[in-house]
Structure 1
């Protein structure tokens, strides 16, 4: 065993350093679901900046240094406060904000979101099946993004109003009717936020034979 460790110490050091890098500085996050469509697709692998908000002790949620504050509109990865699952969503409300949803229209601090560029599309749901969807540009409090709505019966299109507590955040998926976000799992404490997603590293169409999506490689996330 000692000889094996000596013979392979180079690769072992590399693995340890890579692990520390991924848990403290930058990470890549495969996305298996469509909760962030149309911004992020199933099969995208996004690059996560772990130093966007805090310098954390590797392998823990303990913050060693405060580096920045999460902002409305950021796309973030975090551990679910409900079961610890790693999720990726859009941050729509910060501490002190009043957030409300009325018939799928978002309100932040009583200011209604404006919707433009309304487009009807057919969304693939796998196995050659499609569902009609409506895509729009949502603009609220200076934050713009593309979101979409689906014709589902169990959607949570009305919510709140609620006040976001201190040191916690309200997250939503851009695919509003297919996202288990803060409407279901509650507010997300800051110490559970892992980092900010900035770019797509690689992408493959996991619903159609894993064909690579070359046009999405290195695309910035907005």
Structure 2
């Protein structure tokens, strides 16, 4: 009997988890994900404390049969919330694109799944990082902790330059397929957002060299600037909409500690998602 009861509870936890994850995907389009996460934590903590009081402070015999049943279902709900918290904090979490800087790869309003971690950052990965006005140029503290999404272009130890719109890494030409359409033309066009505003995107990159970026990067030593390459644990991040993107060319290099994960999938709901770039 206990075995059957446990199986039923596991099924309920899975169902609750799927429903709650789907709800979070909807809420994250309206609210800041951090706020959703905090509210969920408060709810979990409150109900958990209530359950502890009911089961360990008040004698079970004093609790009416139907109240116990309700509490048991609440317990399943708590397990589901706890499971979701573990997933979002250690595996992956949803985020909403609020900028035009990644057009046409990502558009405003796109919901993406971000895989947690920054240990295996590769060139051309799309990463989400946290703004820190103490580390970024031209940023005030009101923007602190905002999550921005950009593409990794330059890695530690590399000299980066753009000439005639082409990327050169340590003097070697590197192709950027994400900037071109199926006919081999640079992305260049207009679109109308959900509010009826006309937005422009252009993937052509104006000429610059890494020395320009080093000059605007905060907290670098004079030796790092003179070295003429990206220092250890720093990355050059650019948006795909090169004409309008506010990225490392303006705010400086981004430190590894600010990168919280890789954007991997565009998702509409839990059953409808695709890999970014497909």
Q: 2:128 aligns with which of 53, 74, 77?
A: 77
Question: What is aligned with 1:5?
Answer: 50
**Matching residue of 1:117:** 185
Matched residue SS, 1:219: strand
Partner of 2:111: 45
Contact persistence 2:130–2:145 (CA under 8 A): yes
Alpha-carbon contact 2:126-2:152 (below 8 Å) kept: yes
Q: Distance in 2 between matches of 1:88 and 1:103?
A: 25
2:210, 2:230 within 8 Å by CA — same for their partners in 1? no
Gaps of 5+ in 2: 1-45, 52-70, 134-143, 212-228
Deviation of residue 178 (structure 1)? 2.1
Taking the aligned partners of 2:89 and 2:101, their CA distance within structure 1 comes to 24
Larger radius of gyration: 2
Give the corresponding residue for 1:182. Answer: 248
- Aligned with residue 106 of structure 1, among 161, 167, 179: 167
CA contact (8 A) 1:80 1:185 kept: no
* Cα root mean square deviation, aligned: 3.0
Moved more, 108-117 or 31-40: 108-117
2:210 to 161, 174, 177: 161
What is the TM-score normalised by the length of structure 1? 0.66
Name the structure where strand makes up a greater proportion of residues: 1
Higher helix share: 2
Tell me the CA shift for residue 38 of structure 1. 0.4
Match of residue 86 from structure 1: 147
In structure 1, the residue matched to 2:22 is none
Count of residues in Structure 1 that have an aligned counterpart in Structure 2: 176
Query: Structure 2 length as normaliser, TM-score?
Result: 0.54
Question: Aligned match of 1:22 in 80, 85, 88?
Answer: 88
Q: Could you tell me how far 1:36 is from its partner in structure 2?
A: 0.4
In 1, the alpha carbon distance for the partners of 2:127 and 2:157 equals 19
Separation in structure 2 between the aligned mates of residue 49 and residue 190 of structure 1, nearest angstrom = 15
Checking the alignment, whether the CA contact within 8 Å between 1:89 and 1:171 is kept in structure 2 is yes
